[in-house]
Amino acid sequence: MSARDPLRIVGTLVAEKYRIEKLVGEGGFALVYRAVHTIWNKPVAIKFFNGLSSAPVDQRAHFQQAFIQEGALLTELSSHTAAIVQARDVGTYTSLDGQWMPYMVLEWLEGFALDELLEREKRAGLAPWTLAEVLGLLGQVAAALDVAHGKGIAHRDIKPPNLFVLGNGERNPAAAVKVLDFGVAKMMSDDTELKAALAKTGMGVTSFTPQYGAPEQFSRSYGATGPWTDVFALALVAVEMLTGKPPLEGDDLVQLGFAAGNPTRRPTPRTLGLAVPDAVESVFARALAVRPEERYARAAEFWAAFERALGTTTTAARTLRSSVRPHTAPTELAPATAPVRTGPSTTEGGTATTGPRPVETKSKIGIVVAGVAALGLAAAAALALRNKPAPQKPTAAASMASAPAPVLASAAPAPSAAAPDPTCPERSAKIPAGQYFQGSDTKDAADNEKPSHNVSVNAFCMDLYETTAKEYKACSDIGKCRRPSNEVEWPKITPADRKLYSPLCTFGKPELDDHPINCVSFAMAETYCKAQGKRLPTEAEWEYATRGPDGRIYPWGDEAPTPKHVNACGSECVAWGQKHGVTLPALYPADDGYATTAPVGKFEAGRSRFGPYDVAGNVWEWVSDWYAPYTPDAQTNPKGPESGDKKVIRGGAWNGSFASWLRPSFRYAQDPAALSYGIGFRCVADL
Q: How many whole angstroms separate alpha carbon 518 and alpha carbon 495?
A: 19
179: confidence class by pLDDT, cuts 50, 70, 90: very high
Q: How many whole angstroms separate alpha carbon 428 and alpha carbon 426?
A: 6
Return the pLDDT at 425. 87
Is residue 323 predicted with pLDDT exceeding 50?
A: no
Judge whether 555 and 603 are in contact, CB under 8 Å. no
CA atoms within 13 A on the CB side of 42: 9
Return the pLDDT at 331. 25
Is residue 341 predicted with pLDDT exceeding 80?
A: no
422: confidence class by pLDDT, cuts 50, 70, 90: low
Percent residues over pLDDT 70 in the chain: 77
Residue 318 in any domain: the answer is no
Q: What is the pLDDT of residues 423-435, one digit of tens each?
A: 788 899 999 999 9
Find out whether the peptide bond into 491 is cis, omega within 30 degrees of 0.
no
What phi and psi, each to the nearest 5 degrees, are found at residue 47?
-105, 110
Query: What number is the average pLDDT over the span 296-306?
Result: 93
Residue 237 in any domain: the answer is no
The residue among 91, 106, 121 that closes a domain is 106
Query: What number is the average pLDDT over the span 242-261?
Result: 92
Return the pLDDT at 442. 86
Q: How many whole angstroms separate alpha carbon 197 and alpha carbon 351?
A: 50
Please write down the HEC assignment for all residues of 622-662. EEEEECCCCCCCCEECCCCCCCCCCEEEECCCCCCCCHHHH
Query: What number is the average pLDDT over the span 292-317?
Result: 81
Return the pLDDT at 371. 37
Domain CATH number, residue 21 = 3.30.200.20
Q: What is the pLDDT of residues 466-499, one digit of tens each?
A: 999 999 999 999 999 999 989 999 999 999 999 9
Q: How many whole angstroms separate alpha carbon 150 and alpha carbon 333?
A: 14
514: confidence class by pLDDT, cuts 50, 70, 90: very high
Is residue 171 predicted with pLDDT exceeding 60?
A: yes
Residue 78 in any domain: the answer is yes
CA–chain centroid gap for 95, Å, is 40
Residue 673 in any domain: the answer is yes
Residue 438 in any domain: the answer is yes
Handedness of CA 563, 566, 572, 577 (dihedral sign): negative
Q: What is the pLDDT of residues 57-109, one digit of tens each?
A: 666 676 667 667 767 777 777 777 888 888 888 888 988 888 888 898 998 99
Is residue 11 predicted with pLDDT exceeding 90?
A: yes
53: confidence class by pLDDT, cuts 50, 70, 90: low
What phi and psi, each to the nearest 5 degrees, are found at residue 499?
-70, -40
Domain CATH number, residue 555 = 3.90.1580.10
Is residue 538 predicted with pLDDT exceeding 70?
A: yes
Return the pLDDT at 184. 55
Is residue 670 predicted with pLDDT exceeding 80?
A: yes
Return the pLDDT at 63. 67
Return the pLDDT at 408. 27
Query: What number is the average pLDDT over the span 162-186?
Result: 84
Is residue 301 predicted with pLDDT exceeding 90?
A: yes
The residue among 74, 106, 138 that closes a domain is 106
What 8-state DSSP symbol labels residue 530? H
Q: How many domains does the chain have?
A: 2
Is residue 182 predicted with pLDDT exceeding 90?
A: no
- Domain enclosing residue 87, as ranges: 13-106
Q: What is the pLDDT of residues 195-213, one digit of tens each?
A: 444 444 444 445 678 999 9
Q: What is the pLDDT of residues 616-635, one digit of tens each?
A: 999 999 999 999 999 999 99
What 8-state DSSP symbol labels residue 2? B
| C-alpha distance from residue 489 to each of 253, 283, 679 (Å) | 60, 47, 12
| C-alpha distance from residue 70 to each of 76, 133, 178, 184 (Å) | 10, 32, 17, 7
Residue 277 in any domain: the answer is no
Task: Round the average pLDDT of the chain to a whole number and report it.
Answer: 80
Is residue 148 predicted with pLDDT exceeding 50?
A: yes
Polymer length in residues for the chain: 687
55: confidence class by pLDDT, cuts 50, 70, 90: low
Q: What is the pLDDT of residues 425-464, one digit of tens each?
A: 889 999 999 999 999 988 888 999 999 999 999 999 999 9
Q: Rounded to 5 degrees, what angle do the CA atoms 11, 17, 19 make?
A: 20
Alpha-helical (H) ranges within 429-532 are 469-477, 495-501, 522-531
Q: How many whole angstroms separate alpha carbon 555 and alpha carbon 557?
A: 6
Return the pLDDT at 91. 87
Q: Rounded to 5 degrees, what angle do the CA atoms 511, 514, 520 make?
A: 95
Lowest-confidence pick of 45-59, 218-232, 405-419? 405-419
For the ranges 41-50, 169-178, 375-384, 509-518, the maximum mean pLDDT occurs at: 509-518
On the 0-12 / 13-18 / 19+ scale of CB atoms within 10 A, 478 is exposed
Residue 243 in any domain: the answer is no
Return the pLDDT at 329. 25
Report the side by side order of strands in the sheet with 434-438.
434-438, 453-457, 635-636
Return the pLDDT at 202. 44
Q: What is the pLDDT of residues 359-395, one digit of tens each?
A: 232 233 333 333 333 333 333 223 232 233 333 333 3
Please report the DSSP string for 371-439 in residue order.
-HHHHHS-TTTTS----PPPPPPP--PPP-PPPPPPPPTTSPPPPPSSPPPTTS-TTEEEE--EEEEES
Percent residues over pLDDT 90 in the chain: 59
Is residue 264 predicted with pLDDT exceeding 60?
A: yes
Residue 447 in any domain: the answer is yes
The residue among 106, 124, 156 that closes a domain is 106
Q: What is the pLDDT of residues 14-27, one digit of tens each?
A: 999 999 999 998 87
Of 324 and 91, more confident: 91
Tell me the residue type at 455: V
Judge whether 235 and 302 are in contact, CB under 8 Å. yes
